[in-house]
Structure 1
Amino acid sequence: MKRVRILLAAILAAPLLMVAQQASADTNAFRGVNWADARDNYVDGWVVPTGLAAGDSYATIKTKSDGILAAFQQQLGANTVRLPINPQSVNSDWWARYKATADSALAHGMKVIFGYWEANKDGFVDDTAAWNTMWDRVTADYGGNGGVYFEPMNEPFGYSLNAWVSLCSGWLSRHSSIPRGRVLISGTGYNDNVTGVGAASALNGTLLSLHFYGFWASDTTRAAWRANLVSRLGSYSSRTIIDEAGAPMTTGLNYTNGATQDGNVFTAYFAATTDLARERKMGVVYWPGLRDGDSYSITRQSGSGLAVNNPSGVAQLRWGWGL
């Protein structure tokens, strides 16, 4: 009888196990936006996303963040925000206040991705000791929260594949208490190809992040852009979040008319990107959700809230999210 009970339990558990494995193979639970500094996030100083001010208190940042993040949820359908960090911001008193952005997102039931931007714009970690101190502090504060994800570096274009894998392996070892499924390893170059990091056994179990932009080529067909993106993903779509992709949202382009998506670089690019993301169940974190002075910004500040810059762009992004 005991053997029968064990066998029955195994049979009943098998479908549940299959469902769990399938769920873990998709990243489309990440429907996100980047919230960026108007100066871009490559700053030698504190990163201060649009709408915030360096003199703001924690309470003020929390109030501002509550409004902006609620607008991302209500107007876009976002459930994830990607926030920039650097040692200048975290290893200073700004961090105690800036954390209100993440705390607000978590209180709204959103996922948070912390990503490191370097200041020298050379594709290398600026100061390894300061970088380690930064990540020690960030993971100490948020490592126990399952809604927070960590991206050791944004666009590591200074490193060879082997050097980048080595740096990431060191990060994973130093922060071994963080589940690998909550770590995003950037693709090589400008985060533009995940085939190398995907194949690296030292990085097994991590998520991968890819960037993909329409100004990288001059193609005007969805088919050409799809082929471009597919080559950058290889066989690693199931682990990959496209955590930067964006197109002009203030120039009047129509992104949702299928008959005219071909014929323009950006409408063809954005359609191909969102179509493939939907098809392969990949997460997309749009660049940017909000950033002053950026024609790609899908929203803008309006009064005490946000306004959408291009409803057709929002519709196409939501399509890519599977909504």
Structure 2
Amino acid sequence: MLPPRTRVRLLTSAAAALLAAPLVTAVGAPDAAAATSGIRGVNWADARDNYVAGWVIPTGLTASDTYATVRSKAAGILGGFQSQLGANTVRLPVNPQSVSSSWWASYKGAIDEARARGMSVVLGYWEADTSKDGTIDDTAAWNAMWDTVVTDYGSDSGVSFEPMNEPFGYSLSAWTSVASGWLSRHASVPRGRVLVSGTGYDDDVTGVCAASALSGTLLALHFYGYWANDTTRSAWTTNLSGRIGSCGSRTVIDEAGAPMTTGLQYSGGPQDGNTSTAYFAATTDYARANGIGLVYWPGLRSGDTYSITRQSGSGLAVNNASGVTQLRWGWGL
């Protein structure tokens, strides 16, 4: 069975037929208590939702692209994220199949272009679509992948690492053990540049926040409007705040999104009364009020009604101007 997030994205697709300092500056030293509000990000995703058994290839890139071609294409897409949205951070997927192959040499062009443009980068591991059990597919391959990625980008203060996306197959204690093992293996990486996913579908960070073995790390939270049927901002605020607790200073909401191709009005009008508009208003209001970084899902992904942009020539066009306005509000812009 597909994870809930993937199911809904497929269903919604069918139903629908500026620059800032590097991320580490925003969060400070490993034991910093500063808010993460400097993180204004978007996910640049594979059309297959990043769960693939082969190479992860974000929308707009192709498997035959060379490093130079990836950089050229990335310039238009990343430039669009910056100019059209005001983003300063991009979250990109990695997996062992991509990093252990010739694709890695090309794919690095997207990371390098982002850094050349002054954007921070978050690299997160997705498991393959052949399992989707919320656990690491192959620990040895996972370790080898991260060894390579950290060797290549560990010294770059603008690149951060998310050991695993949505570790729903682990209990809190088991996931804490896996994440603390990653920290030990890669002790050269400042903890302030590591995003430890919340438990479940990254849906609650209070447990990992309380784990002393994970102290000083950032915490990655996912939050979506199809998790409840509420139509008021107040109900959604209560829902979100319970998932964060007192851990807002370490939390980054690195996936949150709503339908952007269905004509919904997210700003400049009533927000209560509709599940998606109330959810998105509450999420962006909460992020702004509490200094929490927000990484929209997705900034670009073909076939996804949540995608806030689409490709247009060598750059991007906005799918929903009111959605962009509300997102920028959440970013503090």
Q: TM-score, length-normalised on structure 2? A: 0.90
Task: Give the one of 270, 287, 297 matched to 2:307.
Answer: 297
The structural deviation recorded for 1:225 is: 0.1
2:170 corresponds to 1:159: yes
- Residue in 2 that maps onto 1:97: 106
The aligned residue for residue 4 of structure 2 is none
Structure 2 counterparts to residues 153-192 of structure 1, below 5 A:
153-192=164-203
Find the aligned partners of 2:250 and 2:314 in 1 and give their Cα distance: 37
CA deviation vs aligned residue, 1:246-272 (integer Å, no higher than 9, x gap): 0000000000135x1000000000000
Higher RCO (C-alpha under 8 Å, 6+ residues apart): 2
Q: Quick check: 1:215 aligned with 2:226?
A: yes
Secondary structure in structure 2 of the residue aligned to 1:261: coil
Inter-partner Cα distance in structure 2 for 1:78 and 1:135? 26
Matches within 5 A, 1:267-306: 267-306=277-316
Structure 2 counterparts to residues 1-323 of structure 1, below 5 A: 24-119=33-128, 120-258=131-269, 260-323=270-333
CA distance in 2, matches of 1:27, 1:289: 19
Change in CA separation of 1:243 and 1:20 when aligned onto 2, cut-off 3 Å: closer
Work out the CA distance in 2 between the residues paired with 1:267 and 1:67.
30
Distance 2:162 2:169 in 1: 16
Runs of 4+ in 1 over 6 A off after TM superposition: 19-23
Tell me the residue number matched to 1:6.
none
Question: Rg bigger for which structure?
Answer: 1
**Cα contact 2:95–2:125 (8 A) shared by 1:** yes
Distance 1:272 1:206, change over 3 A: same
Per-residue deviation at 1:20?
8.9
User: What are structure 1's unaligned runs of at least 5 residues?
Assistant: 1-18
SS in 1 for 2:35: coil
Give deviations 1:104-123, integer Å, cap 9, x for gaps: 00000000000000012110
Assess if the C-alpha contact under 8 Å between 2:30 and 2:191 holds in 1: no
Q: 1:21 to 1:201 in 2, by over 3 A?
A: closer
Q: Distance between the aligned counterparts of 2:144 and 2:298, measured in 1?
A: 28
Match of 2:223, SS state, is strand
5+ residue gaps in structure 2?
A: 1-27
- Secondary structure (helix, strand or coil) at the match of 1:141 reads helix
Q: Distance in 1 between matches of 2:56 and 2:262?
A: 27
Aligned match of 2:19: none
Q: Take 1:21 and 1:59, find their aligned partners in 2: how far apart are those partners? A: 35
- Supply the AA of the counterpart residue of 2:46: D
Q: How far apart are the structure 2 equivalents of 1:238 and 1:90? A: 32
Q: How far apart are 1:25 and its partner, in Å?
A: 1.3
Residue identity opposite 1:227 in structure 2? T
C-alpha RMSD over aligned residues: 1.4
Cα offsets for 1:28-83 (capped at 9, x unmatched): 11100000000110000000000000000000000000111011000000000000
- 3-state DSSP class of the match of 2:92? strand
